[in-house]
Structure 1
């Protein structure tokens, strides 16, 4: 299917353009996106800290002192979340104009370096998610623990998913025009 020349834009990547969703929030889209990203970030860390605190206070049932608690949250469980957090910080510290190659930066390799650092940030987040899934399967599911102990692994995966979503929402919110930005064209 060929597009008519009047609708053709040589900068387009996709054949069918993405729909332009105009939400009724108007000038508050930027702020709503930032608050939503912050809420996802808080939810992510609260979920994992809840599991860590439950693990620290887990004890044998009353009347059965010989029953040891089979598993606890250790430093290994913290590593995927730390990787995702570092990836999120790296992704959101990058100047968006430098990635697009705008603003006429003097260094010709600046765009390439910015894209490489962006890739490293997303790779850290993906590695954190993959590590949390591997930890869930290897440490909690294959060992056959009860549901109260597999919650620790599910909380770790939920933390990493929410951190990735938070990074994406914050990226989109920061990429959209702010409430004080005016787009003038002649």
Structure 2
């Protein structure tokens, strides 16, 4: 029997059984893929609508594609970094310096690309669509660009977290 001093709550609270980390990892990867696809669907929908069905003279041009390209490059850079390399000890050296600070710098550039893509989509929305005061069908092109880059950013975060979930059966060997 536990003493009253070691219990947090007066009444016992049953804890739900958590799914295994392999299932969480798989679900996270699938969710990230769905968010990535949905983000590109928003942008491609507006680009196709702009090209084929838009009656105004404003269309989706290369300027609208630049934030998405930056976001995709940011996703590639961020998810190519191994999380274990970020916390390695500085005493281990790789060439002329440690691996950890190099991984952190590359990760920073990846997040800068991702944030720059999202911020760029907001700038394109404001400068190209809101300031000239276009009506709804044309304004959708800028809004869909922001939604697409937001979903790409969310996809990257979900994929980063799910890929770096520790397995209950994983272990590391250190010499």
* Same-fold call, TM cutoff 0.5: yes
Name the TM-score, length of structure 2 as normaliser.
Answer: 0.81
Shift of 1:177: 1.7
Find the aligned partners of 2:39 and 2:17 in 1 and give their Cα distance.
26
Query: Aligned in 2, Cα 1:88/1:52: closer, same or farther, shift over 3 Å?
Result: same
Find the aligned partners of 2:167 and 2:16 in 1 and give their Cα distance.
15
Shift of 1:98: 0.7
Query: Aligned in 2, Cα 1:77/1:86: closer, same or farther, shift over 3 Å?
Result: same
Query: Aligned in 2, Cα 1:150/1:106: closer, same or farther, shift over 3 Å?
Result: same
Find the aligned partners of 1:115 and 1:161 in 2 and give their Cα distance.
23
Matched, 1:25 2:14: no
Query: Aligned in 2, Cα 1:143/1:23: closer, same or farther, shift over 3 Å?
Result: farther
Identify the residue that residue 37 of structure 2 maps to in structure 1. Answer: 42
Q: Structure 1 regions of 5+ residues with no counterpart?
A: 1-20, 61-68
How many residues are treated as equivalent by the alignment? 154
Shift of 1:110: 1.2
Query: Aligned in 2, Cα 1:59/1:77: closer, same or farther, shift over 3 Å?
Result: closer
Identify the residue that residue 163 of structure 2 maps to in structure 1. Answer: 174
Root mean square deviation of aligned Cα: 2.1
CA contact (8 A) 2:68 2:149 kept: yes
Q: Select which of 77, 87, 91 maps to 2:64.
A: 77
In the TM superposition, what whole-angstrom CA distance separates every residue of 1:3-35 from its partner, at most 9, and x where no partner exists? xxxxxxxxxxxxxxxxxx987333411101111
Find the aligned partners of 1:51 and 1:174 in 2 and give their Cα distance.
31
Find the aligned partners of 1:23 and 1:122 in 2 and give their Cα distance.
34
Q: Structure 2 regions of 5+ residues with no counterpart?
A: 1-14
Name the TM-score, length of structure 1 as normaliser.
Answer: 0.76
Q: Select which of 153, 171, 174 maps to 2:142.
A: 153
In the TM superposition, what whole-angstrom CA distance separates every residue of 1:61-83 from its partner, at most 9, and x where no partner exists? xxxxxxxx230000000000000
CA contact (8 A) 1:30 1:179 kept: no
Shift of 1:146: 1.1
Query: Aligned in 2, Cα 1:177/1:149: closer, same or farther, shift over 3 Å?
Result: same
